[in-house]
Amino acid sequence: MADDEDDYMSDAILKQCDDKADKDIRLLPAKVTRQYQQEKKRKELKQKNFVKPKKVIEQEKRDEGLSKSSLTSDNKGFGLLQKMGFKPGMVLGKHGTGRAEPVEINLKLGRGGLGQEAEKKRKQNEKVARWTEMNMKRKKMESKNQENFKKQMKDKFVNTEAERDLRKSQKVCEQLDSEKGIQEPSEIFFWPKEILEERKKKEKKAMEIEEGYSFELEDELDEDDDEDGDDEDDDSSLSASDKLEVLTVYLRNNHLYCIWCGTRYDDKNDMKSNCPGNTAEDHD
């Protein structure tokens, strides 16, 4: 744009537009011209007497004060500091460790009393802290429950495997004991339960046939059943894994048989040389 050209948004152009509008208005009827002149005067008077609201003035002054980050020469405090030897850029304090800038203004919004914001912030922080603590406890509880569940499932699986291996070992033990002529197991859980019950029925039936059924025999059998029940109760205190461990040692020591290898060895040296150990883990 050339220097001699006027900006179309400048006051000069706007004044020309107003002058042109005034000339055009004069060509209109007198009534319209008079109304236009009166409206124009009202606008000028209103603009001349316009007073900014108090809030607007306060906001402008506040923004002006906040925009000043350092003391200026027109500040009274700055003049007093200059008389005491202060220069722009210096810091306060005897050892030069004080402030270099004035204390910042913390703008307070709202109509709450002094300290209300700090109290709200304190309560909010306490609420966040409580929520964080509860969340941590909940996560710990969930983690603990997951660990307990995994442990229960693992124990259940181990117990199921132990019961399966125990039943297999009981059958082998009964067979090997029978080959040696052993009529009763060393422990009640060394033989399968159904085999023991079957033998008791056969013995009971044989006694009935030979001697006849009597109250004395019935009482004697009841006492034997009670004793067997007590033994079973005592054995029930052992877990399937414990029973399997005891039975494994019995088979190895008395029959030179390893349930994990599925082999009966010739002697102890043969077992020691060819069998990895007493447990299933040793055979993995």
pLDDT of amino acid 131: 95
Distance, CA of 4 to CA of 166 (rounded, Å): 112
Distance, CA of 69 to CA of 66 (rounded, Å): 7
Least confident of 24-28, 45-49, 147-151, 183-187: 24-28
Domain spans of the chain, in order of start: 9-49, 165-283
pLDDT 10s digits, 243-254 = 888 888 888 888
Residue 140, pLDDT > 90, answer: yes
Distance, CA of 24 to CA of 122 (rounded, Å): 69
Residues in the chain: 284
pLDDT 10s digits, 149-175 = 999 999 888 888 888 888 888 888 888
pLDDT of amino acid 2: 46
Confidence at 234, pLDDT banded by 50, 70, 90: very low
pLDDT of amino acid 17: 62
Distances (CA, A) of 13 to 8, 18, 19: 6, 9, 10
pLDDT of amino acid 96: 75
Mean per-residue pLDDT, 206-230? 55
The listed range with the strongest mean pLDDT (11-20, 144-153, 176-185, 275-284) is 144-153
Give percent of the chain above pLDDT 90.
12
pLDDT 10s digits, 80-111 = 888 888 777 788 877 778 877 777 766 666 77
Question: Strand, coil or helix: what is 257?
Answer: strand
Residue 125, pLDDT > 90, answer: yes
Q: Which two tokens stand for residue 180?
A: 């040696």
* Of residues 34 and 159, more confidently modeled: 159
* Of residues 73 and 240, more confidently modeled: 240
Residue 191, pLDDT > 50, answer: yes
Let me know: does 220 contact 146? Beta carbons within 8 Å. no
Residue 230, pLDDT > 50, answer: no
Residue 228, pLDDT > 60, answer: no
Give exposure, 16-32, as e/b (b: 16+ Cβ within 10 Å).
Answer: eeeeeeeeeeeeeeeee
Residue 183, pLDDT > 70, answer: yes
Mean per-residue pLDDT, 127-150? 94
Question: Strand, coil or helix: what is 258?
Answer: strand
For residue 263, which phi and psi values (nearest 5 degrees)? -135, 145
Distance, CA of 32 to CA of 40 (rounded, Å): 12
Of residues 181, 196, 171, 137, the one with CA closest to residue 251 = 171
Distance, CA of 181 to CA of 202 (rounded, Å): 17
* Of residues 129 and 12, more confidently modeled: 129
Residue 212, pLDDT > 90, answer: no
* Of residues 212 and 191, more confidently modeled: 191
For residue 264, which phi and psi values (nearest 5 degrees)? -105, 120
* Of residues 266 and 108, more confidently modeled: 266
Distance, CA of 98 to CA of 95 (rounded, Å): 8
Residue 40, pLDDT > 70, answer: yes
Residue 180, pLDDT > 60, answer: yes
